[in-house]
A and B are shown apart, each in its own frame.
Chain A
Amino acid sequence: MSEQNYIYAPGSTIDGSFKCKVPMKGTRQLFIVDGKPQGSPSSLTVKYAQGERPSEALQVIGVRTSAVPGSLSFSTSYHFGQDSVGRLILCSHTFAEDSFETTENCSIVVEKGASVEVVLMQNEHNRAAHFLNMDVVVGENGSFKATFISLNGGHIENRINVKLEREGAYCELNGLYLADGTQNVSNIIKMEHLVPGCHSKQLFKGILDNNANSRFSGLIKVCPGAFKTEAYQENHNLLLTKGAVAISEPMLEIYADDVKCSHGATNGRLNEDELFYMRSRGISLKEASLLQQMAFAYSVLEKISTQELRERMMSLTEQRLRGEFSDCRKCCKNCC
């Protein structure tokens, strides 16, 4: 990785108290505090050199503090050189009860033969709005896999634009969003197949409680000449109440022959037969519906390759679904 003068945690802490508890061995942590990488006045730029395959993952923890309330925007850029292999964990948190609006413009370039896995977690509070604009370009035989976990936040809007630019490029986007109260989460995806022989998959799932609402808008665009494209997209929502609303807008634009594309979307409720079956074995209604929600979330969470991180995300998801986050009113750190 190109050496900038960034300060890597856990040598340092934020607010004198916060320490990220994601128990990943061999993870290099870096904080972006109110839009600035700790120890640097410029925006975050990370470069993996050709063939670089660090054993450790890079975790970038974006936090908002009471020092800069209101709105701000910042940029990040990640460049993965030819045949490099990288793992990123991108987190965003709010560390104060102030109202925040954060816009993050994130650019990711995956060069020929490089392989990248990103796990992104958004865990903010009800008065926080987070706008993520992510542009991803994948080169020849490059692979980009990302799992977006929107755990908590008043307003979350993820716009993800992926360009599969050279033959053999692969992109997999998975998303899990959990919203309650009056929270809303949008995932707006544009997956562009520009050349032949590229492959993409999308799986986005949401669990919506109370009066929460979500929007999934996913476009797969197969450009002229991009034959032998394979592109799949799925969006499924679990609505726990009558007041929850999920909008699903799957879109396919195909301008080439000889392609395999599909999309599917469902909105559903908890399954009464499954609930009764579990209850007839002594499991309470609350636990039975939680088991069902976890099972629903599992098909996204299982995509996270690193076991420790996957288990951590599962336990955070379970805590969130149990309503434990909303019990921590004064604390904005939500046990991450």
Chain B
Amino acid sequence: MSNTILKIRGLHASVGDKEILKGIDLEVKEGEVHAIMGPNGSGKSTLSSVLAGRDTFEVTSGSIEFNGKDIIGMTPEQRSVEGLFLGFQYPIEIPGVTNVNFMRTALNEHRKYKGLEPLNAAEFLKLMRQKMEIVEMNPSFSSRGVNVGFSGGEKKRNEIFQMAMLEPKLAILDETDSGLDVDALRIVATGVNKLKRPDTSTIVITHYQRLLDYIVPDIVHILYNGRIIHTAGKELALEVEQKGYDWLIK
């Protein structure tokens, strides 16, 4: 029996007076790939933000257990060092902070949490080069400001590169396919697959079947109006692609 990595029970979350998540139950085991699909405004991005700890959303009831720990009270940085990773739909540009500086600071926080010494500059750069190759990223990007002047595809590659550096137990990829052409999609998806290990899990949030041709899910959920209304195997994604969501929304 593989271990449960994420267990969500009766999760409700609001922004201001508006309830967006209205009772989510979800269980992800080690090694599994889950896809969450759903029409616009169903709460997909809210769910990923809530899991990553964004404080614009208030969890009003329910529980989130990650790796056996209740994470609702944890800061985003605590969740990160515990092994949770969110790939952003719209990665943020941070002018003036170089990719190197950003990732070195992040990686050293992770190492500190694990009781490891910080990497020295040479070790760090070597690791960074190795991980950049996974997503075919040009090494010159390391000295540039985080995501500044990056194309849509380059930003998404940078997300997967960061994931490669931090080696999370659970990666949540929020519409990683949006804004990507076929080549970029292939590179990003291949990167995700290369990083997959038997003890890590992935949640892919997407609108389209397209990405799921590359990152094949074990389980597909349909999120609608703040609830998971349907769960099935990977064939569900194809069905949604052909028939839309209407037949599921009664």
Chain A interface (Cβ < 8 Å from any Cβ of B) = 273-274, 276-285, 287-288, 291-292, 294-296, 298-299
Contacts and interface: CB of A to CB of B under 8 A. Distances in A.
Interface stretch (B72-80, B176-184, B228-236): B72-80
B97 A282 contact: no
Contacts of A282: 77, 80-81, 106-107, 109-110, 113, 166
Contacts of A274: 92, 94
A284 B109 contact: yes
A283 B106 contact: yes
A295 B96 contact: yes
Interface string B192-219: 0000000000000000000000000000
SS class of chain B's interface: helix, strand, loop or mixed?
helix
Nearest 4 A/B pairs, CB to CB = A295-B96, A282-B80, A279-B76, A277-B92
B96 A294 contact: yes
B102 A291 contact: yes
Contacts of A291: 94, 97, 101-102, 105
16 contacts: A280-B53, A281-B102, A281-B106, A282-B81, A282-B113, A282-B166, A283-B105, A283-B109, A284-B109, A285-B75, A287-B105, A288-B77, A294-B96, A295-B95, A298-B96, A299-B96
Contacts of A277: 88, 91-92, 94
B142 to A, nearest CB: 15
B148 to A, nearest CB: 10
Contacts of B91: 277
B129 interface: no
Contacts of A298: 96
B109 A280 contact: no
Contacts of B92: 273-274, 276-277
Contact of B94 (A278, A279, A284, A285): A278
A52 to B, nearest CB: 37
Contacts of A285: 75, 77
Contacts of A296: 96
Contacts of B162: 281
A234 to B, nearest CB: 15
Nearest to B112: A282
Contacts of B94: 274, 277-278, 291-292, 295
B54 interface: yes
A295 B92 CA distance: 14
A292 B96 CA distance: 8
Given A281-B162, A285-B75, A276 B54 contact: yes
B52 interface: yes
B86 interface: yes
Contacts of A281: 77, 80, 102-103, 106, 162, 166
Contact of A278 (B52, B96, B102): B102
A282 B109 CA distance: 6
Contacts of B85: 280
